[in-house]
Structure 1
């Protein structure tokens, strides 16, 4: 009986030890498994983070390409940038569908990203060089434009000065008649103070000296206006040009102008009854009014 009890106790003891060992083993392996799961979760989290970073870099690079292509005018360079932009977009799309656990492909995509970025740096350098050259050209164009504008303004000013000078010369070349007087003459050519005895009107004048006026044969036109506004004339065909119009004249006289002052007279023969009142005498040479004066006819 005692031997049987002793044998059962031994068996129970051995079984307890085995159960304890198995319990310890189970705890160990469970802890080990949990540790591996934690490590795996950490690795997966790290790989997700890595994928997100690469994806972010691709997105930023894509935006940078968009920014450059919208600011340059070189068609060839724009085409190259567009090709790289398309490539980046394709790689970005692939990255988005690639599992985070595919470390090998993510590493490859990251390497391709580095390659594209190097290409982009080369393009950016070309863009900077072009921008610098364009800026220099724009500055040169601005300078050339300023010089051209200054030259144009100078030419315009010289043209205005020339025009002003021509106007001054033109005005200076207009002849002038001064020292006017009117003397009533009777039928014998003698001065008379009697209105009823007047047969002719003698107009005395001086053509002033003018070295600027063109010398040569000239014609002076006398235009006598009555108090009622009518012009004394012998024929309706007696007209001359003045300010783009044909106007009547009373008498004319040809003379040679040498540039020196010249005293002369011109006559109007009375062929009608003249009303008393204030008359006006105007003188014209070369299409210009060169002098005028008023006189009374009333005695």
Structure 2
């Protein structure tokens, strides 16, 4: 071979070598670009995971009423946010740091799962406690209603017993008599009222001395009385009476008569006699004078 041929072959080989090197460099550059893109995507995905993870703590804290557990969740959330800030400052190509932060995230997930289990357990316990409280409240309300009903029954029974124990005046008869002790035919001749009545038998009534108050009311509702101070208590007020009568009550029937001496002007019309004992009206009767 001549020198020219050697030179030509060497030149061709050199060109081929340059082309090969160029192709390798272009391939490596493309590979590096793909790696950089992959690193960036990997880092971006990790950032999104940290961000979502931090938000989950906010949701968890809304389900917690336990102060100690809420404080621990707050601490873990702060730690997550701090690691997120670290991640944002790390270069995508720093594989060791990215790997470390991935491991940190995995640890945080395990811790969160533990908290979720605690919260779930507490919520189940709280739900059970609410059921117990609701059951106790229901039983208490039922007992209260029963006590209230018993109290009302007792009150009604007491009222019934009280009513049964009251004296009762019947057969009330009023005679307006003249000075000859005869029934007066005209109102101007009346000098006395003779009031007859019967206290009926009552074995439930208290025996002993009792005080009867008799009110004689004129047609204008004015009460006949000898003294304005002659009053007795009745339903939180004082009423004037005409006649006061003491009796010794033994539970048996008693026929009684009381008198009212007429010293005031009387006029024709409808009169009424009311009899009271123990703060209760026990009998009433109307009569007419002409």
Secondary structure of 1:241 counterpart: strand
- Find out whether 1:135 has 2:127 as its counterpart: yes
Match for residue 71 of structure 2?
79
Looking at structure 2, the residues matched to 114 and 234 of structure 1 have their Cα atoms a distance apart, in angstroms, of: 106
- Find out whether 1:54 has 2:56 as its counterpart: no
Listed as ranges, the matches of 1:175-190 within 5 Å are 175-189=167-181
Shift, 1:193, TM fit: 4.1
Larger Rg computed on CA atoms: 1
- Find out whether 1:214 has 2:206 as its counterpart: yes
Q: Deviations over 1:119-157 (max 9, x none)?
A: 222222222211111111111111111111111222222
Shift, 1:72, TM fit: 1.0
Tell me: CA distance 1:229–1:139, structure 2 relative to 1, closer, same or farther (3 Å): closer
- Find out whether 1:157 has 2:149 as its counterpart: yes
Q: Select the residue among 38, 44, 67 that pairs with 2:30.
A: 38
Q: Deviations over 1:154-192 (max 9, x none)?
A: 222222222222222233333221111122334454x33
Looking at structure 2, the residues matched to 90 and 272 of structure 1 have their Cα atoms a distance apart, in angstroms, of: 108
Looking at structure 2, the residues matched to 172 and 30 of structure 1 have their Cα atoms a distance apart, in angstroms, of: 125
Shift, 1:197, TM fit: 5.0
Looking at structure 2, the residues matched to 107 and 154 of structure 1 have their Cα atoms a distance apart, in angstroms, of: 70
Shift, 1:11, TM fit: 4.2
Match for residue 58 of structure 2?
66
Match for residue 253 of structure 1?
245
Q: Contact conserved, 2:178 with 2:184, CA < 8 A, in 1? A: no
Match for residue 229 of structure 2?
237
Q: Deviations over 1:210-261 (max 9, x none)?
A: 3333222112111111223322222222222222222221112111222222
User: TM-score, structure 2 length as denominator?
Assistant: 0.91
Match for residue 265 of structure 1?
257
Q: Select the residue among 284, 290, 294 that pairs with 2:286.
A: 294
Shift, 1:267, TM fit: 1.0
Looking at structure 1, the residues matched to 196 and 150 of structure 2 have their Cα atoms a distance apart, in angstroms, of: 43
After the TM superposition, which segments of 4 or more aligned residues of structure 1 sit over 4 Å from their partners?
none
Looking at structure 2, the residues matched to 49 and 277 of structure 1 have their Cα atoms a distance apart, in angstroms, of: 115
Looking at structure 1, the residues matched to 132 and 44 of structure 2 have their Cα atoms a distance apart, in angstroms, of: 48
Secondary structure of 2:138 counterpart: helix
Match for residue 201 of structure 1?
193
Q: Which consecutive residues of structure 1, in runs of 5 or more, have no partner in the other structure?
A: 1-6
Looking at structure 2, the residues matched to 136 and 173 of structure 1 have their Cα atoms a distance apart, in angstroms, of: 54
Instruction: Give the length in aligned residue pairs.
Output: 289
Looking at structure 2, the residues matched to 162 and 274 of structure 1 have their Cα atoms a distance apart, in angstroms, of: 49
Secondary structure of 2:238 counterpart: strand
User: TM-score, structure 1 length as denominator?
Assistant: 0.89
Looking at structure 1, the residues matched to 143 and 53 of structure 2 have their Cα atoms a distance apart, in angstroms, of: 49
Looking at structure 1, the residues matched to 5 and 125 of structure 2 have their Cα atoms a distance apart, in angstroms, of: 95
- Find out whether 1:281 has 2:267 as its counterpart: no
Looking at structure 1, the residues matched to 65 and 270 of structure 2 have their Cα atoms a distance apart, in angstroms, of: 82
